[in-house]
Amino acid sequence: MTVPETLHARVARLNEALASASPAAVIEKAMEAVPAGRLAVVSSFGTESAVLLKFVADVDPGLPVLFLDTGMLFEETLDYRDRLVDFFGLTDVRSLKPQIELLERRDPHRDLWLRDTESCCHIRKVRPLSDALGGFDGWMNGRKRFQGGARAAIAHAETDGQLLKFNPLAALSQNDIAAVFETAGLPRHPLEKMGFSSVGCMPCTSRTRPGEAPRAGRWRNTGRSECGIHRIGLPAGAGCGC
């Protein structure tokens, strides 16, 4: 009787095969590793999101794309989402929203971000994504190593509870990202020209200064750098290119 391969063993084998893989090759391998209909893409439709979506659309524009509509996003981000959906011909973009009951109970005045940013992110991002990923066996996101912090050593494949998680852009440099925008003629996020190098919810996003890290404007002066959806080891689904 054959002993089933553990999830960690599968990830190790995948990373060995993907050591020098292109983003498209990572996406194709993810589609091989995860049963049809059980793989999702998570996108914030932020300043660099067009690159991952470009590679996804080149392989399969029908892959489900999960978008966290927190209720506190910039209007420019919502407009950019609509533009990229049309630009790439994406056919299955799903907006995930926080539970109304949770908002009414925990954040009735929309000021939770002032008092407890972690709880605010949990209600508006982590919980909706966790619930949605219950219907999938694997997901992809747009994190890159050059973004630093907890992202500096990410592999192309990871575990997230009982799910497989893929980072197709992990090995790309900032110059690589810029080159894809240029050669593919990708639309830019409208807030980028205003000094926003990384865009999340309005209250917790600020412009970056010359010389700062790309994500320095996220949760500035709070000691935070992630919203919580990428915490390895939480229950399945509770771990963007947010």
Does 121 score more than 50 pLDDT? yes
pLDDT score recorded for residue 150:
76
In a domain, 33, yes or no: yes
Alpha carbon of 196 to those of 20, 76, 214, 218: distances in Å? 31, 12, 9, 10
In a domain, 28, yes or no: yes
Describe the strand order of the beta sheet including 157-160 as a list of residue ranges. 93-96, 65-68, 39-42, 138-140, 163-166, 157-160
In a domain, 135, yes or no: yes
CATH number at residue 137: 3.40.50.620
Q: How far apart are CA 221 and CA 218, in angstroms?
A: 9
pLDDT score recorded for residue 233:
37
Higher pLDDT, 3 or 214: 214
Quick one: average pLDDT of 115-143?
Answer: 93
One-character DSSP codes across 93-151: EEEE---HHHHHHH-TTS-HHHH-HHHHHIIIIIHHHHHHHTT-SEEE----GGG-GGG
Does 137 score more than 70 pLDDT? yes
Does 223 score more than 80 pLDDT? no
227 is catalytic: yes
φ and ψ of 174, to 5 deg: -65, -35
Question: Between helices 174-184 and 49-59, what is the axis angle to 10°?
Answer: 60
In a domain, 240, yes or no: no
Tokens representing 4?
């089933």
pLDDT tens digit string along 144-160? Answer: 998 877 788 899 999 98
In a domain, 233, yes or no: no
Q: Band of the pLDDT at 62, cuts 50, 70, 90?
A: very high
pLDDT score recorded for residue 231:
59
pLDDT score recorded for residue 226:
66
In a domain, 192, yes or no: yes
pLDDT score recorded for residue 3:
52
pLDDT score recorded for residue 108:
94
Inter-residue contact 28 to 59 (CB < 8 Å): yes
Three-state DSSP state, 159 = strand
pLDDT score recorded for residue 117:
87
pLDDT tens digit string along 16-39? Answer: 999 989 999 999 999 999 999 999
Q: How far apart are CA 86 and CA 242, in angstroms?
A: 21
Q: What one-letter code names the amino acid at 78?
A: L
| Structural domain range at position 136 | 7-204
Which of 120, 121, 204, 227 is the catalytic position? 227
In a domain, 211, yes or no: no
pLDDT score recorded for residue 124:
92
Q: How many domains does the chain have?
A: 1
In a domain, 182, yes or no: yes
Higher pLDDT, 74 or 231: 74
